[in-house]
Amino acid sequence: MPYPKIELHVHLEATLRPERLLEIARRNDHPLPADTVEGVRRLYEFRDFDHFIEVWILVTNALRRVDDFRQLVVDYAAEAATHGAVYVEGIFSPIERTWRGVEWDEIFTGYCDGAQEAMEAHGVQVRLAPDITRSAPLDEALTMVRYAAKYRDRGIVGIGLGGEEALYPPEPFEGAFRAAREAGLGSVPHAGEVVGPPSIWGAIKALDPVRIRHGIRAVEDAALMEEIRGRGIVLDVCPVSNLRTRAVASREQHPLPTLVAFGISCSISTDDPEMFDTDLTREYELATSFGIAPRAFYDAGVRGALCDERTRQQLDAVGRAYPWPR
C-alpha cells in the first residue's frame, strides 16, 4: 500500500484523461485538433509555458455542463486514491468558463457535487479552491469570490490566482482577496513559478496568503525566504511540473531541498498531472530523491490544508498512526 499523501495543488481541468476529454468534447460538440487518444497525448507535448497555456485553453473549453465538472472531480479522486491520497484540494478556473457562456452556478454545482461523490465513492476528502484568472478585470474577480462564498458549505475553502504570471502581477487583486478573507476563504495564489521574488513579495503584501502555489523562486532572495518561514506560509511544490514547464532546468537545480533545509514547509502536488504525464507517486519519488522524508511533506500538507479543524485533526491522526519509512 502506498503511504498516505495530501495534495494541495492540482488543477482539476488538467486531470482530464484523453479518453474522457474525447467523450466530453463529442457530447458538447466541441471541436478538437485531435480525435484519438494518441493525438490528444501529442497535444500535451509542450514547447514552453506559453504553449501550455494555449493547449490549456483549447482543452478546457470542452467543459460546459454540470456533469462535466462533477466527473472531473470523481475521476481524479479515484486516480489519487490509488497513490495514497487521503485529502485533495482541487483548483478550477470558473471565470474562463463563464467567458464561454457557462453559468456560475452550473460550474460551482458540478465541482461541489463531484467533491461530495468523491468521498462517498473513493474515500478521498476533497475541498476546492478556485483560481481567479489573472487577465480578468477586478469586477469579475469579485463576482467569483461571491460565488465561492455562496458555496462555502459545499466544500469551497479558498481563493487562488492563476494564469500568466509574467503578464499580470498580483497587486490589482488585493480587493478581491480581502473580500475572500472576510468571507472566511483562505488566500492561496500562484506566485514565484515563472517570475522571481517580486511576484512572491507582491502576493505576500497584497494578498496575505496562507499558502503560495509554487513559490520556488523564493530561493533567489534570502530575505524573502525569511519572510515565508516567519509567516509560516506553506509552499505547494510540484517538482515534475516545474521540469515540464522548464521553470526549473534540471532535477539537480530544483530548489526544493534548499527550501526545506531553510525550514520552509513544502507540500508536494501534481499541478497538471494528465498534461504533464505525472502522478502523485512520481512527484513524491522525485521529491524524496533529495533525501527528504515523505512524512515531512505529509505534515506540511496538514499544516497548509484549508480544511476545518476537525478534518485537520483527522489528517494529523492518519499521519501519526502510519509506520513511515525512515
| Angle, CA 278 vertex, CA 272 and CA 282 arms, to 5° | 130
Is residue 273 helix, strand or coil?
Answer: coil
> How far apart are the C-alpha atoms of 139 and 179, rounded to whole Å?
12
CB 136 within 8 A of CB 88: no
Is residue 131 helix, strand or coil?
Answer: strand
Is residue 85 helix, strand or coil?
Answer: strand
- Choosing from 193, 220, 274, 309, the catalytic residue is 193
Q: Active-site residue 193, yes or no?
A: yes
Taking the mean position of all CA atoms in its chain, how far away is CA 122?
20
Pick the closest to residue 192 from 259, 144, 93 (CA basis). Answer: 259
H-state helical runs in the chain: 18-27, 37-43, 49-60, 66-81, 94-98, 104-122, 138-150, 174-182, 197-207, 222-231, 239-244, 256-262, 280-288, 294-304, 309-321
Q: Could you tell me whether strands 190-191 and 186-187 are parallel, antiparallel, or unpaired per DSSP bridges?
A: unpaired
> How far apart are the C-alpha atoms of 95 and 312, rounded to whole Å?
30
Pick the closest to residue 247 from 213, 298, 222 (CA basis). Answer: 213
Give the number of other Cβ atoms within 10 Å of residue 68's Cβ: 24
Just list the catalytic residues.
Answer: 193
